[in-house]
Amino acid sequence: MPDDEVAPEDEEDEYEGGMFLEKESIKLIYNALHEYKPTEDEEHLHSVLLEEFEEILVVDYNEPYPDVN
């Protein structure tokens, strides 16, 4: 491999080892979670996931914080 194509070792890919979803996909998942009515057993996980997807939209995609109903 030519030297000009080799990335320095200290440079790390921001998404290495993870999954990247487009903004529209994140919004779709967030909206589905927002409308979903969890069972008693699902309530904790549902609230955690909803909060995480809100944070992704606000921090990573510069979306305004969703209105709280």
Q: Is the pLDDT reported for residue 31 higher than 80?
A: yes
Residue-wise pLDDT tens digits, 52-63: 999 999 999 999
Nearest CA among 28, 31, 27, 33 for reference residue 62:
27
Which residues make Cβ contacts (< 8 Å) with residue 50, sequence separation at least 6? Answer: 30, 33, 34
Q: Would the pTM count as exceeding 0.75?
A: no
